[in-house]
Structure 1
């Protein structure tokens, strides 16, 4: 009945020509104010977008269907126009079913689109149109259209599991296959059954649209007309030296003096920053007659305003060279100025291996849909240089991140959602059973599950804290050990980007000396507290913190992010009424308590130096690793020696197999903090024998191990993998 009423009102508004943004309207239907002249100028531009050709078809589909799929490539206008039409649809029902939310896969995209759409709708940002991204909200009670990152909408479901605040939910960039987007697509199927008045619009590109149709069944598919791609030039020889080939091509394009900006896609953020440094240096050597070449880093997740091309009397207009990495082709590009695209055709990805609980860095080709999107960026008059063969075998679509990531946080979230009454998550691509078992086992070790496989009280509290489960458990433990203030700082610093700046050429020694001033003898976790406290002290002393950070080769924006994360975590602990102890950093008791709290969450990440020379044996999977060079231990290893036992935050399988953020622990404290059945599930090793001797100094190890194994298996101990999987299966 509500659906029928909404449809009638909607069609009446269209018939009366009071619906939509017509040239004859004088008052803005969203704020009641007269339209500005800029509104009509932008309206004229908007009507040239290919999405406008299907406006009537989309509106009819939205009225008569709960789920609509819109398929179209970049530059069709789908991400700006469709949310506005959905806002009008909700307005037609006087918002009785809720407002509009549109998800994005990266934060800068959400902000940029909100600003653009507010301009097109002729309203104020933060009022009728707003955005929500991690650590920043720009909305009000007047907001009718909100852009947000997909992970923020997922977190919103913790308090509003059926998303009853919204009448239309738009899932944009579904083809990116992020974990959060895939979970939303899986859960929305059940939510639509519970809320017949709700509308869901999925925006994607052709390969993914076919997969969605087979997943959802008979739903409308609206295909947008693609703009003509650029002239494409392929490198038909296998080019292993793609990085320098791309840089040489940038310089060749600049020397031709042809107008237009350049976009270059590289394999990783590290390559992007390296390319930026090289092009900056080479740009100073170019003749003035060529004009200025301005390299610009533009990676997903990194904000910043684009430099405006300058043109002085008698000089040539400057050329911007945008440098991006994988997943950057769907960003909010200044496409009207881009004439050249250089695509290396490869990407570096982190793929999680559940057997060893570690990421591996993998270099692999991009997908065909990524390649097609990149070809669209320069338009029909531009050129796209593909540094890979035309007949290269590219996979048709992006691989789902849920198959390549640690899904422990995902399982914790889904367990929490079950409590709220939502049914099972209908995954488009189901997680690997081995990864699921490992996630359930890890949650069991962290005491987040009860004997029935449901969330325990600890698990429910952990799900409230916006951290990965291990760090959330460590933060909870700090409440018991009176070191909450210090653990908040550690959690914030590890959640933010790295605070260490890469020094300019020739300044490495100076940077090391500056960073050494913050080093703490107990380890890197404690060094991070020193850095954060020094940063806060510089603020209290009213120093120019940006200059202070530059002087110490620290990243000001990363430290500001850590400050915001710490504030958010503090608010979360206050909301769930957990005690926050007074800081006592530096005392012996506090140091001991910090290590106990860390091990409460990270007991699965301990290693032992087996030969006294920095070759660490990781107990959980028997791999050998080194301490990362940026670690305080890495800088002082030849002078002071390395600790025998350490806890580490991160380990990546790469050329050097490095552990990052490492602190010294004692094996006695590890035995005290680690669950006994986790200890007995460790694979056999000399290091485990040493721990066993500490646990059983009387030498009755074998008999005790046998009896404990039987006892543990009976309580979900050694048989934890099989038992937990049976009782915690997520369909």
Structure 2
């Protein structure tokens, strides 16, 4: 009966909306069903625009489907309007049954698109943002008790399931951008299959790209699929070089300059592969654009890397006299869905992916072709009046969809989350693509080393506390260990700075030396983790200093204000979590010898699996867990030119990237004794045989280092308390 009444009410509403198209807005006194107020004239203006969207023709079909089915898949590209209209119709469906089953939540993969969509939909529904329509992104919530439609990032909805595993406050869950196959989206799609069995009144709507719907249909069985057709761009120009353009960066830059000099007004979006290419392209276009005739208008390159916290800049009055070139790398197609100024697309046809190798616990950067879904999505961004330049031939065999991230990522956090969901009674996750068994075993092993699992393989008390933090398990364990070693204040800063985007900006070539000297002023002799504390403390001091303008201070020191603001917000959130679970926050003690030692102990409690030794005194660091050799990144305090001090023998590193330079990043000096003290005994004995392990074994047996077989001379032992032999794992009281 409820479903039938919902159908009648929604069909009536569709009829009401269709009837207003020929009326003048001033003559209408219809009340907004969501807030009870009369609609504004802008509502009817936007309604006319909404009716021109390809998705609008499928409204009746969608309403009938959501009334009679639990799961619906909608296949369409970015410009069809599915991301704005479908959630609104879901809200109408929930309203028609008076929210008996809950409200609507719609997931996105990017923070910026989450906010943009919520703002647009609130405008179209003629309600205030933060009231009937809201959003929830990391470190920012704009919702209220009146919210009936909430946009949020997929990772936040996943964390919400820890406290509400059946998502009982929602009547409809909309999963957008399912074709991107992020780890969080895949987990949601897998867990919701089980949730739907427990809640037959719940509705799941999956929005995906045309080439990615077949796997979802197979995963969920016989369910309705609604296909949305979008108009194609007026012209697509393909490359002629077989195998694609090898030097696609130069081709992109030449094409952007040619468009600016010969084509009609309109902004350009250039899809490249890496952040480094974006930085290079930005510098070149800025330099070349400065030499062009003023009659052509200003050429304004805009870097857009969401991974680094960038967002689409707001339009200004000067925009009409200039042409923007947005330089970006996928997947960022959704960030341009509402930008009507874009007339040209330059698509290199390649993307960068981080592929995790569990055997060596490191990511490698792989450049590979984009998927058909991405290619079509990029063409749709310009609509029927634009032009898309594909640097690859039309016959290029693109894969139908991108490789799911869960097959190429470190899934330790995923396994920790699923272990937590088992406690909540929802541990059955039916993956669309199951994770690699080797990666799964490595994740379980790592959680065991971190004391997150008990003898039965279930979450231990430490593991449960670790899962409370929105951090990688190693960082969560480090933060917990800092409570024992009384250095929470400092470790909070380190963890927050590592979680935020990189704060050190890469300046143009002419300012490179000045930036290097400015960054070196923050370097700490104990290592890069301590340098991050220096940067953060200086940033906080700038807010109360004579500068008074923190943005200017960041510019003068070649630091990212966005990254530092993010770190500050992350730190505040972590403090709230610590207080909620009643863990202590120590007073600042940065700079004392005891505090320095305690910070290193806390870091080792989480990152003892990421320790390396300089085997010959020349900067060739041998990693204990997998016998690979790497160098310290040039931008490290130890890797700067000229080096500030002699390279340390033993280091703890935050990241190892298998790329052309094969570097370890964010490096801090430790001692062999500190490592032995903090690493679990069974982890040490599981290390593969090596000269470095023999050195450690000799210290265990005799309390001093044995002569090395290689070129590196043994370092004298200090008399710090860290050298007391302790073979037990770090235990949080």
Give yes or no for the alignment of 1:295 onto 2:301: yes
Give yes or no for the alignment of 1:693 onto 2:701: no
| Paired position in structure 2 for 1:119 | 123
| Paired position in structure 1 for 2:586 | 581
Aligned ranges for residues 25-104 of structure 1 at < 5 Å?
26-104=30-108
The 8 Å contact of residues 264 and 343 in structure 1, kept in 2 or not, is answered as yes
Shift of 1:389: 2.0
Q: 2:8 aligns with which of 8, 11, 16?
A: 11
The 8 Å contact of residues 312 and 335 in structure 2, kept in 1 or not, is answered as no
Q: How has the CA–CA distance of structure 1 residues 600 and 115 changed in structure 2, closer, same or farther, with 3 Å as cutoff?
A: same
| Paired position in structure 2 for 1:445 | 449
| Paired position in structure 2 for 1:268 | 274
Give yes or no for the alignment of 1:245 onto 2:251: yes
| Paired position in structure 2 for 1:307 | 315
Shift of 1:398: 1.2
Aligned ranges for residues 92-241 of structure 1 at < 5 Å?
92-237=96-241, 238-241=244-247
The 8 Å contact of residues 19 and 88 in structure 1, kept in 2 or not, is answered as no
The 1-side partners of 2:314 and 2:405 are apart by 29
Q: How has the CA–CA distance of structure 1 residues 16 and 292 changed in structure 2, closer, same or farther, with 3 Å as cutoff?
A: closer
The 2-side partners of 1:97 and 1:20 are apart by 25
Give yes or no for the alignment of 1:590 onto 2:595: yes
Q: How has the CA–CA distance of structure 1 residues 432 and 483 changed in structure 2, closer, same or farther, with 3 Å as cutoff?
A: same
The normalised TM-score by structure 2 is 0.92
| Paired position in structure 2 for 1:724 | none
The 8 Å contact of residues 300 and 331 in structure 1, kept in 2 or not, is answered as no
2:384 match: secondary structure: coil
| Paired position in structure 2 for 1:720 | none
Aligned ranges for residues 312-461 of structure 1 at < 5 Å?
317-461=321-465
The 8 Å contact of residues 485 and 598 in structure 2, kept in 1 or not, is answered as yes
| Paired position in structure 1 for 2:687 | 682
Q: How has the CA–CA distance of structure 1 residues 17 and 244 changed in structure 2, closer, same or farther, with 3 Å as cutoff?
A: closer
Shift of 1:390: 2.0
1:146 match: secondary structure: strand
| Paired position in structure 1 for 2:719 | none
| Paired position in structure 1 for 2:712 | none
The 2-side partners of 1:192 and 1:178 are apart by 21
2:334 match: secondary structure: coil
| Paired position in structure 1 for 2:573 | 568
Q: How has the CA–CA distance of structure 1 residues 264 and 318 changed in structure 2, closer, same or farther, with 3 Å as cutoff?
A: same
The 2-side partners of 1:48 and 1:455 are apart by 52
1:364 match: secondary structure: strand
Shift of 1:637: 6.3
Moved more, 271-280 or 565-574: 271-280
The 2-side partners of 1:322 and 1:16 are apart by 40
The 8 Å contact of residues 419 and 427 in structure 2, kept in 1 or not, is answered as no
| Paired position in structure 1 for 2:541 | 537
Give yes or no for the alignment of 1:668 onto 2:673: yes
1:330 match: secondary structure: helix
The 8 Å contact of residues 20 and 88 in structure 1, kept in 2 or not, is answered as no
Q: How has the CA–CA distance of structure 1 residues 139 and 267 changed in structure 2, closer, same or farther, with 3 Å as cutoff?
A: same
Moved more, 458-467 or 15-24: 15-24
Aligned ranges for residues 568-717 of structure 1 at < 5 Å?
568-635=573-640, 638-697=643-702
Q: How has the CA–CA distance of structure 1 residues 433 and 15 changed in structure 2, closer, same or farther, with 3 Å as cutoff?
A: same
Q: For the aligned residues, what is the CA RMSD?
A: 1.8
The 2-side partners of 1:161 and 1:536 are apart by 39
The 8 Å contact of residues 10 and 92 in structure 2, kept in 1 or not, is answered as no
The 1-side partners of 2:95 and 2:336 are apart by 27
1:635 match: secondary structure: coil
Moved more, 549-558 or 522-531: 549-558
Could you list the runs of 5+ residues in structure 2 that have no partner in the other structure?
21-27, 707-726, 728-733
Q: How has the CA–CA distance of structure 1 residues 97 and 496 changed in structure 2, closer, same or farther, with 3 Å as cutoff?
A: same
| Paired position in structure 1 for 2:501 | 497
The normalised TM-score by structure 1 is 0.92
Shift of 1:308: 3.8
Moved more, 347-356 or 327-336: 327-336
The 2-side partners of 1:279 and 1:636 are apart by 29
Q: How has the CA–CA distance of structure 1 residues 139 and 105 changed in structure 2, closer, same or farther, with 3 Å as cutoff?
A: same
Shift of 1:21: 7.8
Could you list the runs of 5+ residues in structure 1 that have no partner in the other structure?
702-716, 718-731
The 8 Å contact of residues 79 and 337 in structure 2, kept in 1 or not, is answered as no
2:351 match: secondary structure: strand
